[in-house]
Amino acid sequence: MSADAIYLDYAAATPPAPEVQEFMQALLMSTGGTANAAATHLAGRQAARSIEIARGQLAELLHTTPGRLVFTSGATESDNLAIQGAAHARAHRGRHLVTMQTEHKAVSDTFRALEKAGFEVSWLPPDANGRLDERQLTAALRADTQLVSVMHVNNETGAIQDLAAIGAICRDRDVLFHTDAAQSVGKMDIDLSAVPVDLLSLTAHKFYGPQGIGALYIADRPGCQILPLMHGGGQERRLRPGTLPVHLVAGLGAAASLARQKMDDDHAHVSSLRARLWEGIRRVEGVRETLPESVCYPGILNVSVAGVEGESLLLALEPLCVASGSACNSQSGEPSHVLRALGLDDISIQSAIRFSFGRGTTAEHIEEAVRRYMQAVARLRDIAGDARAA
Amino acid sequence: MSADAIYLDYAAATPPAPEVQEFMQALLMSTGGTANAAATHLAGRQAARSIEIARGQLAELLHTTPGRLVFTSGATESDNLAIQGAAHARAHRGRHLVTMQTEHKAVSDTFRALEKAGFEVSWLPPDANGRLDERQLTAALRADTQLVSVMHVNNETGAIQDLAAIGAICRDRDVLFHTDAAQSVGKMDIDLSAVPVDLLSLTAHKFYGPQGIGALYIADRPGCQILPLMHGGGQERRLRPGTLPVHLVAGLGAAASLARQKMDDDHAHVSSLRARLWEGIRRVEGVRETLPESVCYPGILNVSVAGVEGESLLLALEPLCVASGSACNSQSGEPSHVLRALGLDDISIQSAIRFSFGRGTTAEHIEEAVRRYMQAVARLRDIAGDARAA
Amino acid sequence: MRPDDPYSPEVRLRFANPVNALPLKGAYPVALSAAASMPGEICEIQFSAGIEHGRIAEIGFRALACPHVIAAADFLCSELRGLAVSAFATVWTNKLMAALSIPEEKTGRIFLLEDALTSLGEQYAAEHEMG
Amino acid sequence: MRPDDPYSPEVRLRFANPVNALPLKGAYPVALSAAASMPGEICEIQFSAGIEHGRIAEIGFRALACPHVIAAADFLCSELRGLAVSAFATVWTNKLMAALSIPEEKTGRIFLLEDALTSLGEQYAAEHEMG
Ligand SMILES: Cc1ncc(COP(=O)(O)O)c(C=O)c1O
Ligand SMILES: Cc1ncc(COP(=O)(O)O)c(C=O)c1O
């Protein structure tokens, strides 16, 4: 990659923290860090120990106990395990499920597959601030509703949902509550000893851990049972078989521990970056903040702009690495379903850019982003001239 | 782990090759190596490029084309994806499936789950050499048979199956053929342009790649379709969603490329080690080679011994890191279903030790293993004295 | 084009510096202008040309479109400048796709350019040959 | 015991060097021997004891068993040596489990040791007190 690339796509993937990298590297060079944790010999026990330490670190971050955490390959798998697993485990009680229109594809595509398998899904819209209206949720719940899935922080807009309020409504009606917290774990405090969440998905590469490892939290209460997606060696309480990848699990643990220490500083840092970025680009004529900071996790700023074609904007912004809509959708070319649900028209959606930043982002990066964004919009409008849409 | 540990459990996990480690480390320190490969920006494209290079390296190892390979989290997931995916995709044609009694749990537990879901499974026994009798296979196939799954190299005994012969029988009857090749990929030449295999599972950490990454090969021919286990961002031809872990995929690719170069040397190396090991321990009274080298991959030597309790034998062998039965079963304490299917009695099974070795194993390690095995058996027999079973 | 780059060097170059993205300057005996757009997509293109002695003396474009269309329009202008007006009727798409290594899924948008040129040609014919 | 080690240091030590894994040496006024085994498992244990003046003068064991049972048998012999024969009737299991940090799932096997000792005590009673 060209040396001057400026990485502003932390919502798609955060680079692993140097501490995490070093720790993984040390494990990869040791017998205990590369053994099979299911083996009973010295090296295997060492591997198992690394894994249990990591489980403890993640439990501490989430204010829960290690036994509640099952390691997976990432949030996509956690979402599938939680949603398919709960839907099938409770299918004998009812086949109605509830989610939102603004979920990540790992959630929405899973619900769509369940629809094909005979489940009924209610898709709730967000309000103008991207949030779930709790009265709508209450109204949607039925006697046969088994599961509600609402993400914590939206990956495209940063919109935050009120887990405590949603969880309370679900508990009240004996409905399981799953949340995809891929974008918030390690960045916002989530206290699972207090917030009534039953199932929570996370992935390490969104909080400075490695790619390819995630976890599912499963609450310890009656009725909170799920069926596995896969079968095999009996690992992870038979819910997720397969050799546990020691260096990845340990990397996740180290990232969790680091996140706990740095959470306040990280949050203050991205808040100030977001303010600076928006202050800079709001001067562009026709630019619009998709959602205001007050309702968002501040590490994400989603903006759209009039009179500019999105693909050209992205190329004109190079070497800024930013996302057009969700990184998970960016190759499909379809307009973002999240921005649509928020009421944006297709012209605005196609011009939307998601800036997202984190620990490694500096004020200089932000200044450069502002400069390039202004320049790119001006240049493209120049090329468009009279052909330019209103 | 104590410095003098001798690692002889390569069938459970191989340490990543130094070349693989270095390559992954370099990626972990680069923006392109830690970005989301689904992103269209510079860093994302760099990530995507690393992934496609790796896919090409793996394709070369297997004599196939990159487009046939789907990355997964390991062989357990590949087995589940292949078996569940093919069974469900072809359920409208028939619900009869065939496998062996000596498969890895990732295969056998998946078939057991399918039995519960209304599929019928024929479990074929091995012959005295651990091999599938092809006449038995032919006899087991029915008009409604959809899938045969037979592993390439057995993880407990090293027994090799004849993929070409089994595949030919399956092709002839329009039945899909899946093989779990976790123990053979990178160690034995598998030519997918010639051998009629439809689905093949592999995992990187069995051939000097990292843990947490594997692949499924899916043949390009009519009828060879599978349904996904998970839903989400559309990655891997919609068969396996989720952010692709760049450093792991690249590590797998590097390991594949290295395996191709070293395959002959590696094979000669483990052959000579196995011979040396068996030459040494066959002198112990009552010791038995579970299967002879002539029918096995030589990186595995499974032996049982009379008059010794297995758990004490494992502890007495420390700091040798060896497995009692399969590493995947070692925590369950049940006698190995594989050794049972070979006709071993429970007393022999509980004393069985799997030695497995690889690139990092030296003749000195083997000499030390021989010495310790002889010593351990002698000492335990001494403690047993008259109490000793016949 | 690197396998991981959807844009060929030619596209990148023209997109970065589209020398022909200009309003028509100067006065010409015949001044033509034609636009085309892709329904349901952000893809609008406009050519303006000055014709002198049956030749394309000057031509420029405006585009609110993706990088491939901008680069292709720019390339077209450079190619057309100085040619006889009959060049408007040439089948350009294949040449554009090849010269700029444009991916197949963009074919529809590239046709749009041809449409606009055809329409320039028709305009010229209507106004001057037939007139 | 490290959390990743199923064997406590006490178990490791006694397993590595079971000083009491011996046949009975020397001649004693009363020589007893009792064995116990676990059906369906490889777990066989035998104690031999020499009794003098109602005291356990010497005691040794033999075991074809797991490390916990070997260590526990060895520990028991050390504890019993010198005690009155009534010690055979003591409830040892809890003490053994605690002293050697034996995991719960091994309780059944540890009971086996107690069974063998009880049987030594009964033998002694049958042969000498009642006789
Ligand atoms: C034959 C076989 N299949 C499947 C597996 C499972 O592989 P993984 O743990 O990478 O999922 C293993 C090893 O554990 C194996 O030896
Ligand atoms: C909200 C959300 N859920 C799920 C995922 C999927 O995570 P992974 O790619 O680790 O499976 C992502 C990111 O890609 C995400 O942002």
Look up residue B148 and give its two tokens: 């045969």
| Contacting residues of C for A307, CB less than 8 Å apart | 64
In chain C, the residue whose alpha carbon lies closest to the alpha carbon of B49 is C4
Do A389 and C42 make contact, defined as CB atoms within 8 angstroms?
yes
**Per-residue pLDDT reduced to its tens digit, A309-334:** 999 999 999 999 999 864 344 455 67
The answer to whether residue C65 neighbours chain A at the CB level (below 8 Å) is yes
pLDDT at A387 over 80: no
In B, minimum Cα distance to D2 occurs at B1
**What HEC string does chain C produce?**
CCCCCCCCHHHHHHHHCCCCCCCCCCCCCEEEEEEEECCCCCCEEEEEEEEECCEEEEEEEEEECCHHHHHHHHHHHHHHCCCEHHHHHCCCHHHHHHHCCCCHHHHHHHHHHHHHHHHHHHHHHHHHHCC
Tell me which residue has tokens 């495209």.
Answer: A156
pLDDT tens figures, B40-52: 899 999 999 999 9
CB contact under 8 A, C62 and A312: no
Q: Which residues pair with A364 in a beta bridge?
A: none
pLDDT over 70 percentage in chain D: 95
Place of tokens 């989720």: B242
Tens-digit pLDDT profile for residues A177-197: 999 999 999 999 999 999 999
- What is the Cα gyration radius of chain C? 14
* Measured torsion, CA atoms of residues A73, A78, A81, A82, in degrees rounded to the nearest 10: 170
User: Can you tell me the mean pLDDT for A228-244?
Assistant: 93
Q: How far is A17 from chain B (nearest CA, A)?
A: 9
Q: What are the tens digits of pLDDT across the range A256-265? A: 999 999 999 9
Q: Which phi and psi angles does C50 have, rounded to 5°? A: -110, 125
A143 pLDDT band, cuts 50/70/90, is very high
**Alpha-helix runs per DSSP H in A63-104:** 75-89
Mutation site, D4, D7, D8, D66, interface A, largest A CB count within 10 A = D4
Say whether pLDDT at D25 is over 90.
no
CB B124 within 8 A of CB B101: yes
pLDDT of residue A325: 62
Is D46 an interface residue toward A (CB < 8 Å)? no
- Which atom, in ligand 2's list, is nearest to the CA of A11? 16
Q: What percent of chain A has pLDDT over 70?
A: 96
Question: Ligand 1 centroid to A155 CA: how many Å?
Answer: 34
Residue B388's pLDDT band, with cuts at 50, 70 and 90, is very low
**Window from A232-236, B16-20, C111-115, D9-13 with minimum mean pLDDT:** A232-236
Q: Of B231, B243, B249, which is best to mutate to test ligand 2, by the most ligand atoms within 8 angstroms of its C-beta?
A: B243
Per-position DSSP letters for B3-40, written without gaps between them: TT-EE-BTTT-PPPPHHHHHHHHHHHTSSTTTS-TT--
Q: Which of A328, A332, A356 to mutate to test the pocket of ligand 2 (most atoms within 8 A of CB)?
A: A328
8 Å CB contact between B114 and B97: yes
A45: chain D residues, CB-CB within 8 Å: 4-6
Overall average pLDDT of the A58-79 stretch: 98
Give per-residue pLDDT as tens, A9-36.
999 999 999 999 999 999 999 999 999 9
Q: Which of A142, A136, A144 is nearest to A118 (CA)?
A: A144
Q: Render B102-139 in DSSP notation, one character per residue.
A: T--HHHHHHHHHHHHTT-EEEEEPB-TTSPBPHHHHHH
| Ranges of residues in chain C whose predicted pLDDT is under 70 | 1-3, 129-131
Number of the ligand closest to the Cα of B13? 1
Looking up tokens 């130094």, which residue turns up? Answer: B18
Listed in sequence order, the residues at least 6 apart from A240 whose beta carbon sits closer than 8 Å to its beta carbon are: A70, A71, A72, A77, A81, A216, A228, A229, A230
Which of B363, B313, B331 is closest to A36 using CA atoms? B331
Q: In which band, very low, low, confident or very high, does the pLDDT at A276 lie, cut at 50, 70 and 90? A: very high
The Cβ of residue A31 has, within 10 Å, a number of other Cβ atoms equal to 22
Query: CB contact, 8 Å: D7 with chain B?
Result: yes
Do residue C4 and residue B40 have CB atoms under 8 angstroms apart? no
Report the pLDDT value the prediction gives residue C23, as an integer from 0 to 100.
Answer: 81
Asked if D64 is an interface residue toward chain B (Cβ–Cβ < 8 A), one would say: yes
Best CA proximity match to C72, nearest among C7, C119, C2, C14: C14
Size of the B and C interface in Cβ pairs below 8 Å = 11
Residues in Cβ contact with A162 at an 8 Å cutoff, skipping those fewer than 6 apart:
A131, A132, A134
pLDDT at B347: 87
- Supply the pLDDT for residue A1: 46
User: Average pLDDT in the A280-286 region?
Assistant: 97
What DSSP character marks residue A387? G
Can you give the pLDDT at residue A386?
61
Residue B185 per-residue DSSP state: B
Tell me what pLDDT residue C1 has: 42
Q: Nearest residue CA, atom 10 of ligand 2?
A: A74
Question: Could you tell me if residue A116 is left (phi over 0), alpha (psi between -120 and 50 degrees) or otherwise beta?
Answer: alpha
- Binary contact (B245, A212; C-beta < 8 A): yes
Q: List the 294-333 stretch of A: residues with Cβ below 8 A of B.
A: 314, 318-324, 327-332
**Token pair listed for A185:** 């774990």
- pLDDT score, position A320: 97
- Give yes or no for residue D32 having a pLDDT over 70: yes
Out of B103, B107, B328, mutate this one to test ligand 1's pocket (max ligand atoms within 8 Å of CB): namely B328
In this predicted model, what pLDDT tens digit does every residue of B60-73 receive, in sequence order? 999 999 999 999 99
Compute the count of residue pairs across chains A and C with CB atoms less than 8 Å apart.
55
Q: Do A383 and C62 make contact, defined as CB atoms within 8 angstroms? A: yes
What pLDDT score does C22 carry?
87
For ligand 2, whether the C-beta of A152 sits within 6 Å is: no
User: Are B241 and A109 inside 8 Å of each other by CB?
Assistant: yes
Residue C24 has what pLDDT?
A: 78
Residue D67 CB-half CA count within 13 A: 27
pTM of the predicted structure, to 2 decimals: 0.95
Question: Does B387 score more than 80 pLDDT?
Answer: no
pLDDT of residue C131: 46
pLDDT recorded at residue C129: 61
Of the given ranges (A351-355, B380-384, C25-29), which has the lowest mean pLDDT?
Answer: C25-29
Nearest ligand 1 atom, CA B153: 1
- Taking the C-alpha atoms of residue D73 and residue A352, their distance in angstroms, rounded to an integer, is 74
Mean pLDDT of chain B: 94
Query: What is residue B361's three-state secondary structure?
Result: coil
Contact B111, B149 (CB under 8 A): yes
Q: Taking the C-alpha atoms of B331, B334, B340 and B344 in order, what is their torsion angle to the nearest 10 degrees?
A: 90
Q: Kindly identify the ligand whose nearest atom is closest to the C-alpha of A106.
A: 2
Q: What is the pLDDT of residues B148-181, one digit of tens each?
A: 999 999 999 999 999 999 999 999 999 999 999 9
Q: Does A321 touch chain C (CB under 8 A)?
A: no
* Catalytic sites of B, residue numbers: 328
Residue type for A306, please? A
Q: How far is the C-alpha of A160 from the C-alpha of B209, rounded, in Å?
A: 39
C-alpha torsion sign, points B231, B237, B243, B246? positive
Residues B296 and B331: their CA atoms lie apart, in Å, by: 25
CB contact under 8 A, D70 and B385: no
Q: Give the bridge partners for A126, in sequence order.
A: A132
> What torsion, rounded to 10 degrees, do the Cα atoms B36, B39, B41, B46 define?
50
Segment holding B176, helix H or strand E? strand B176-180
Is it the case that residue A156 has pLDDT exceeding 80?
Answer: yes
Closest residue in B to A227 (Cα–Cα): B113
Distance from CA of D83 to the nearest CA of B (A): 24
CA–CA separation, A134 and D101 (whole Å): 53
- pLDDT at residue A204 tops 80: yes
Residue A314 to chain B, least CA–CA distance (Å): 8
Specify which residues C84 forms β-bridges with.
Answer: C55
**Residues in chain C closer than 8 A to A310 (CB atoms):** 42
Are chains A and C in contact at 3+ CB pairs closer than 8 Å? yes
What pLDDT is stored for residue B390 in this prediction? 36
Cα A242 to middle of ligand 1, angstroms: 7
Residues with CB under 6 A from ligand 1: A 242-243; B 74-76, 104, 106, 151, 155, 180, 182-183, 203, 205, 214, 328
pLDDT of residue D23: 81
CB within 8 A of C130, min separation 6: which ones? none
C-beta neighbour count of A4 within 10 angstroms: 10
For chain B, say whether C66 makes contact (Cβ under 8 Å). no
Give C4's contacts in chain B (Cβ within 8 Å).
45-46, 48-49, 52
The secondary element (H helix, E strand) that includes residue B70 is strand B69-72
Average pLDDT of chain A, as a whole number: 94
- In which band, very low, low, confident or very high, does the pLDDT at B134 lie, cut at 50, 70 and 90? very high
**Is pLDDT larger for residue A386 or for residue A286?**
A286
